[in-house]
A and B are shown apart, each in its own frame.
Chain A
Amino acid sequence: MTAEKLTRPELVCPAGTPASLRTAVDAGADAVYCGFQNATNARNFPGLNFTPAELQAAIAYAHDRGAKVLLAVNTFPPAGQTDLWKEAIDIGAGFGIDAIIVADIGVADYAARRHPGQRLHLSVQAGAASPEAIGFYCREFGVKRVVLPRMLTVAEISGLHQQIPCEIEAFVFGNIGMMAEGRCSLTNYATGLSTNMDGVCSPASQVQYEEDAERNLTTRLGGFVVDRFACGESAGYPTICKGRYHVVGRTGAYHAFEEPVSLNLSALLPDLMRAGVTALKIEGRQRSRAYVRNVVAAFRKAVDAVLAGRDPEIASLLALTEGHRETQGAFQGKTWR
C-alpha cells in the first residue's frame, strides 16, 4: 500500500450503557452514540440506555478524553405523543451534546428551529440514499452528516460523496438487518410493537424458544416460527429477516432474505476512506462491554494502520462475529442485491 494522504475518519462506537460508553472511549472511540431509556431511540431494550443524569456524566467523561457523544433520537413519534421526543432533543441540546441523530421530519424540524446551533446528523432510519433526499435534509434542517443505508456499494458511496453537501457516516461492523431502515413494520406485524414508533426490532419479550424431545430448537417471534435448528446446530436469535421459511420452488427451510451474517468491512477500510466516508460506525448498543472493548480497539488499530500506510490487521475481528459468517453486504458490489 502506498502512503497516500487520507483524511482521518471518526470512529463512531456504540454505548448501550454508561459503562459501555466509558469502555468505548477508553478503547479509542472518537465518538460514541447512545440514547435515552424510552421509545425515542431505535434500541429501546430493557436494561439499556441512559437516564438524563447518566448522559450528562457520560458527556463530561467523553469530553474530558477528547471524544464526542452523539444522541440518537431516531424513531418516529406517533401523533399525539411528540412531547417525549421534543424533551429528548431539549435535554440533549441543553447538555451540550456533540450531535443529535434524527430521522423523523417533525423531530428534525423541531430540533432545527428550537436549537438552531445544535449539530444534527441524519439517522440511517431516515432511509435517505439519494443525493436529492440527503440534500433535502441538509437544506431544510441543516443536517451536517448522513448515516448511509447499508445498500450502496463503495463505488456508489464515492459517487454520492461528490453530490451531497454533508459528511458521510457508514456502518462498518456488526449486525445488519436486510430491510431498509426506518421502513420496516415486520416486527409490528408479528408482535404489535413497532420498530419505528417503539424502537424495538424483534423484542425479547415476544421471543420464544422451544426444544423438542430430540433437542431440536424452534424459535418464534410473536407466535410465528422464525427458524428451527437441529440438535447441535448453532441457533440464532429470531429476527424475521434472517429466518428460514417454506416457499414454493424451494424444498426445505430457506433463508428467503439473508443468511445470518454479520457485516465486517475491515478489509474495505482504505476504500471507504478514499470514497469520502468521514465516520465509520460500529453497530452494537446491545452488546457487552467486552465486545465493545474488543471491536473498538481492533478498529482503532486498523484505522490507524491504514492512515500510516500499513495493511490493517483484521484477523482479530473475525472472531468477534460470534458464530456468524461475515459479509461485506451491499458494499462489495451489485451482485449482493
Chain B
Amino acid sequence: MAMTMAAAKSELILGPVPFHWSVETVRDFYFRIADEAPIDAVYLGEVVCHKRAPFFAPYLDEVANRLKAAGKRVVFSTLAEVMLPAERRLVEAVCAMGGDLVEANDVSALSHLAGRPHHIGPYMNVYNEDTLKFLAGKGAVHVSLPAELPANALRALGAAAPALGVSLDVQVFGRVPLALSARCYHARLTGRTKDSCQYACEADPDGLALDTLEGTPFLAINGIQTLSHSCLNLAGELADLQAMGITGFRLSPHSCDMVAVAEIFRTVADDALGPDEAEARLAALDPPGPFANGFFHGAAGCIRTGADRAQA
C-alpha cells in the first residue's frame, strides 16, 4: 500500500489551537507558521471555551492576513459546545464572517451556515455516508472526520465523498479530543467554577496530565475538554489514508516545534520519507506524549500498533 500514493496532492491542515496560550504566544506561533510551515490551510478560532475567545480577538485579522499573504487558506472554527448565551453569540458572530470560511463544530453553527458553502469540524458527529450526504446537501464542502473512526469507516466515507463534492480530512498528529463537559475541570481543580475560573487552564500549554493511581499517564485536561495523554501519530498510515480518498491531514497544535512537525508530515505525504524515519524525527521533537494510532486500526485509541514499524 505504501507505494500507491494518490495522484492528487494531499493537503496539510493546521487545526485550531485547543489550549489557552497567551495572546503573544498564539500570535507568534501563527506568524511563524505563516512564514515557515508547509501548511496549506489554517483553522483559527476558539473551539473549547468561549471565555478565552476575547483575548485573541484583537489579533485575529492581523494573523489571518499574514497567513493568507503566505498563501495559506484560512478557515474560522466555531465552539464545540454551545449552550450559554455568550457561546451562542460567539458562534453567530463567527458564522457571520462568511460562507466557506467557517468550520461548524456543532449543530448550532450548522443552523447558521446551512444553505451556503461551509466546513464541518471534527467535533460534529459525521460517522457515516448518510450523514455526509445530508450535510453536503446543506452546503458542506469539507468535513474533518471524528478521530475515533476506524479505517473501514474512513474508507467508506472516502468512497462516498467525491460524488458529494466534499473533501475529507482526519487528524494525524497531536493529542486526541476524547470528551467535552459542561464543567470546567481546570476550574474544579483549583476550587473554582467555570464562571469564576480565573483562566486556570492557562498554566498548561498542552493540557494537564491525569495519571492513574498506579502512575500510568492516561488523559489530559483542557478546561471543559478531556484529551488523550498519548499523541496521535498517523505518519505510518498516510499512504493508506491517501488511498482511501482522505485528502487532508490535520495537525493539532502543541507547544513542540509545529513547523518541524509540518515539514515531516509534508515529506511523508510526498512519499519522500519513510514512516520509521518520520517517527524517529517526530519523537525527537518532544511531542506531548507517546505515539498512538489505535483508533485507526479499530483498537483502543491509546494503543500504538503496526508490526512493520520500529518502536520509538
Asked whether B179 lies within 8 Å of A188 as measured between CB atoms, the reply is no
Q: How many residues of B contact A (CB 8 A)?
A: 77
Closest A residue by C-beta to B87: A130
The interface residues of chain A lying within 8 Å CB-to-CB of B31 are: none
A105:B125 contact, CB within 8 angstroms: yes
A103 to B154, CA, bound (A): 20
- Once the chains are docked, how many angstroms separate the CA of A337 from the CA of B186? 11
Chain B nearest CB from A120 CB (Å) reads 14
The yes or no answer to B273 lying at the interface (CB within 8 A) is no
Interface 1/0 per residue, B145-177 and A, CB below 8 Å: 011111011111100100000000000000010
**Cβ–Cβ contact A104 & B178, under 8 A:** no
Within the complex, the shortest CB–CB distance from A335 to chain B, in Å, comes to 5
B2 neighbours in A (Cβ, 8 Å): none
With a 10 A CB-CB cut-off, give which of A152, A245, A336 has the most chain B CB atoms: A245
Within 8 A of A (CB), among B171-224: 176, 178-185, 187-190, 193-195, 208-216, 218-219, 221
A247/B294 in contact, CB under 8 A? no
With A192-B300, A196-B125, A228-B213 as known contacts, state yes or no: A132 contacts B82, CB within 8 Å: yes
- Kindly list chain A residues whose C-beta atoms are within 8 Å of the C-beta of B127: 76-79, 104, 106, 196-197
What is the bound-complex CA distance between A184 and B179, given in angstroms? 4
Among B181, B208, B210, find the residue whose CB has the most chain A CB atoms closer than 10 A: B181
On chain A, the residues within 8 Å of B110 by CB distance are: 133, 136
**B154 proximity list for chain A (CB < 8 A):** 79
Report the minimum CB–CB distance from A66 to chain B (whole Å).
35
In the complex, A17 Cα to B157 Cα: how many Å?
35
User: Shortest beta-carbon distance, A35 to chain B, in Å?
Assistant: 18
A216-246 Cβ-contact flags toward B at 8 Å (1 or 0): 0010001011111000000000001100111
Do residues A337 and B193 form an inter-chain contact, with CB atoms below 8 A? yes
* Chain-B contact segment, one of A55-63, A165-173, A249-257, A268-276: A249-257
Chain A residues, CB < 8 A from B221: 247, 256
Q: A185-B178, A194-B148 are in contact. Are A132 and B111 (CB under 8 A)?
A: yes
Shortest distance in angstroms between A81's beta carbon and chain B's nearest beta carbon? 8
The reply to whether the CB of B30 lies closer than 8 angstroms to some CB of chain A is no
B144 at the interface (CB under 8 A from A): no
List the one stretch of B21-29, B39-47, B61-69, B131-139 in contact with chain A.
B131-139
User: Using Cβ atoms and an 8 Å threshold, which residues of chain A touch B219?
Assistant: 186, 240, 245
Q: What are the residues of chain A within 8 A of B152 when measuring CB–CB?
A: 78-80
Q: Which of A103, A105, A190 contacts B134 (CB 8 A)?
A: A105
A residues whose Cβ falls under 8 Å from a Cβ of B = 76-82, 103-107, 109-110, 126-133, 135-137, 149-152, 156, 178-180, 182-186, 188-192, 194, 196-197, 218, 222, 224-228, 240-241, 244-250, 253-254, 256-258, 330, 334-337
Q: Given contact pairs A106-B128, A185-B179, A335-B195, enumerate 9 new A-B contacts (beta carbons under 8 Å).
A: A78-B153, A79-B152, A80-B153, A106-B129, A132-B111, A185-B148, A192-B301, A247-B209, A247-B211
